[in-house]
């Protein structure tokens, strides 16, 4: 049974704080009609962003696409080939200037992608003008879409768009030729890496959470959050979390759970949290968790000196917090691998917490963890994982 921690009023605060800390990312996308913008967006970001309705118009030729739970908005732009291009671009520049003057940095346009198709091997004046305009307001990447054979085109783009911070060739979808030969997608990971580096620090985590191409980025960000919470668990002096006095380590765990969930791209829910706490603190499988329960409870009992609680927390806190945190990171990582980078549903996370989390905390899957790290894929099925993999395959 999980211990009764006085966490009720704090959970919402902590979950909201994790989402606030994650921030919101905005990408500005331009390119001629049919260059592959929507295909690219759906290949890079979670939630089929470019397929959600028609988007909301913000200028005559700009629509914004967003979706609840996904910390990224995509500004999709038209008009490069239209006769009134200059007027359209002026509208777009006005809109960007206004957005970037907002006091809330989560509303700024953070990065621009100028998409140019490789197959036409031509760079239009409109593309050059657009890259120049965007570069006055944000870092810009030139994306060569539908890449098949470079033939010197990348170099030409670099020369004509010197403002671009990177020129990256991508093939966003698998392509099958008449003779049966197949061309696999490529370049998406380079695009994500280059874009992530250009994001301001305050919005980088949002970008990492929203993209689905590089799961290592999510895993590393989540590990950073675990490390920070291991430090918080040393004692209240170093612990800036709300309600830390009443809940001690329990609150550190709740905040870590919320932060790791958010870093992967999930919105932490109460159901997920209770499954997490039940498995993390309520599993009497290891002495580690048993001490943790004792420490948490000590801190919660009025009348017992905080010194006693703090001494126990200091001894057991960082190790237990790290063990539980890394186990949760690995659990989410595997679920994302199962879904080819897309977010699992909340119910699936709850189920995995109930079925697999205890063994992950106990660490008897360390061989699998290192194998997963090496290949980037879950390589050995266990009961719960195998069942879920079947379900995921059936659903897709």
Binding residues for Mg ion, rule: CB under 5 A, are 37-38
Considering the complex, state which of residue 115 and residue 273 has its C-beta at the smaller distance from Mg ion.
115
How far is the C-alpha of 371 from the C-alpha of 365, rounded, in Å? Answer: 10
Q: Which does 102 bind (CB under 5 to 8 A by kind): Mg ion, ligand GTP, none?
A: none
Report in angstroms how near the CB of residue 171 gets to ligand GTP at its nearest: 4
Q: Which does 172 bind (CB under 5 to 8 A by kind): Mg ion, ligand GTP, none?
A: ligand GTP
Return the residue nearest ligand GTP (CB atom). Answer: 36
Considering the complex, state which of residue 145 and residue 372 has its C-beta at the smaller distance from ligand GTP.
145
Report in angstroms how near the CB of residue 113 gets to ligand GTP at its nearest: 11
Q: What are phi and psi of 161, to 5 degrees?
A: -120, 70
Measure the N-to-C terminal CA separation of the chain; round to a whole number of Å.
36
How far is the C-alpha of 180 from the C-alpha of 17, rounded, in Å? Answer: 51
Q: Identify any residues that bridge with 362 across adjacent strands, giving them in sequence order.
A: none
294's enclosing H/E stretch is: helix 287-300
Considering the complex, state which of residue 39 and residue 211 has its C-beta at the smaller distance from ligand GTP.
39
| Local structure of 15: helix, strand or coil | helix
Report in angstroms how near the CB of residue 33 gets to Mg ion at its nearest: 8
Report in angstroms how near the CB of residue 115 gets to ligand GTP at its nearest: 7
How far is the C-alpha of 16 from the C-alpha of 10, rounded, in Å? Answer: 10
57's enclosing H/E stretch is: strand 56-59
DSSP 68-96: TT--EEEEEE--TTSTTHHHHHHHHHHHH
Q: Which does 358 bind (CB under 5 to 8 A by kind): ligand GTP, Mg ion, none?
A: none
Q: Which does 146 bind (CB under 5 to 8 A by kind): Mg ion, ligand GTP, none?
A: ligand GTP
How far is the C-alpha of 191 from the C-alpha of 43, rounded, in Å? Answer: 11
Residues that bind ligand GTP (CB under 6 A): 31, 33-39, 145-146, 171-173, 175
Considering the complex, state which of residue 173 and residue 371 has its C-beta at the smaller distance from ligand GTP.
173
Q: Which does 34 bind (CB under 5 to 8 A by kind): Mg ion, ligand GTP, none?
A: ligand GTP
How far is the C-alpha of 381 from the C-alpha of 372, rounded, in Å? Answer: 11
To 10 degrees, what angle do helices 8-22 and 249-264 make? 40
Considering the complex, state which of residue 170 and residue 349 has its C-beta at the smaller distance from ligand GTP.
170
Considering the complex, state which of residue 31 and residue 265 has its C-beta at the smaller distance from ligand GTP.
31
Q: Which does 6 bind (CB under 5 to 8 A by kind): Mg ion, ligand GTP, none?
A: none
Report in angstroms how near the CB of residue 170 gets to ligand GTP at its nearest: 7
Q: Which does 346 bind (CB under 5 to 8 A by kind): Mg ion, ligand GTP, none?
A: none
Considering the complex, state which of residue 146 and residue 339 has its C-beta at the smaller distance from ligand GTP.
146
320's enclosing H/E stretch is: helix 306-338
How many Cβ atoms from other residues are within 10 Å of residue 19's Cβ? Answer: 20
Report in angstroms how near the CB of residue 38 gets to Mg ion at its nearest: 3
Report in angstroms how near the CB of residue 154 gets to ligand GTP at its nearest: 15
Report in angstroms how near the CB of residue 329 gets to Mg ion at its nearest: 35
Q: What's the half-sphere exposure (Cβ side, CA atoms, 13 Å) at 321? A: 32
Considering the complex, state which of residue 212 and residue 299 has its C-beta at the smaller distance from ligand GTP.
212
CA dist list (Å): 13 to 243, 255, 336, 342: 10, 9, 26, 26
Residue identified by tokens 């030969």 is 181
Q: Which does 263 bind (CB under 5 to 8 A by kind): Mg ion, ligand GTP, none?
A: none
């Amino acid at each position: 049974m999980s211990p009764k921690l006085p966490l009720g009023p704090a959970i919402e605060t902590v979950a909201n704080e994790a989402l606030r800390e994650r921030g919101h990312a905005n990408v500005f996308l331009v390119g001629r009609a049919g260059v592959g913008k929507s295909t690219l967006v759906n290949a890079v970001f979670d939630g089929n962003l470019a397929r959600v309705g028609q988007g909301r118009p913000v200028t005559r030729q700009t629509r914004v696409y967003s979706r609840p739970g996904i910390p990224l908005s995509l500004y999709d732009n038209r008009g490069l080939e239209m006769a009134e291009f200059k007027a359209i671009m002026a509208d777009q520049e006005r809109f960007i200037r206004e957005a970037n003057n907002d006091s809330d940095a989560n509303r700024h346009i953070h990065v621009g992608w100028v998409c140019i198709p490789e197959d036409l091997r031509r760079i239009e004046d409109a593309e050059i003008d657009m890259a120049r305009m965007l570069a006055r307001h944000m870092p810009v990447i030139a994306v060569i879409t539908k890449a098949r054979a470079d033939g010197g085109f990348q170099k030409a783009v670099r020369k004509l768009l010197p403002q671009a911070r990177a020129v990256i060739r991508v093939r966003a979808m698998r392509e099958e030729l008449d003779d049966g030969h197949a061309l696999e997608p490529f370049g998406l990971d380079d695009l994500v890496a280059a874009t992530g580096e250009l994001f301001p620090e305050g919005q980088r985590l949002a970008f990492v959470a929203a993209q689905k191409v590089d799961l290592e980025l999510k895993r590393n960000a989540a590990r950073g959050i675990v490390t920070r919470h291991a430090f918080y668990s040393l004692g209240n002096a170093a612990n800036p979390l709300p309600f830390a006095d009443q809940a001690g380590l329990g609150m550190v765990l709740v905040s870590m759970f919320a932060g790791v969930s958010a870093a992967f791209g999930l919105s932490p829910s109460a159901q997920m949290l209770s499954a997490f706490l039940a498995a993390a603190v309520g599993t009497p499988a290891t002495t580690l968790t048993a001490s943790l329960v004792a420490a948490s409870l000590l801190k919660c009992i009025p009348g017992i000196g905080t010194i006693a609680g703090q001494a126990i927390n200091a001894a057991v806190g960082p190790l237990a917090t790290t063990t539980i945190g890394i186990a949760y990171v690995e659990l989410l990582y595997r679920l994302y691998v199962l879904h080819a980078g897309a977010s699992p549903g909340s119910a699936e996370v709850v189920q995995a917490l109930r079925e697999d989390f205890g063994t992950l905390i106990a660490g008897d899957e360390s061989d699998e963890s290192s194998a997963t790290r090496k290949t980037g894929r879950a390589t050995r099925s266990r009961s719960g994982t195998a069942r879920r993999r079947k379900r995921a395959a059936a659903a897709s």
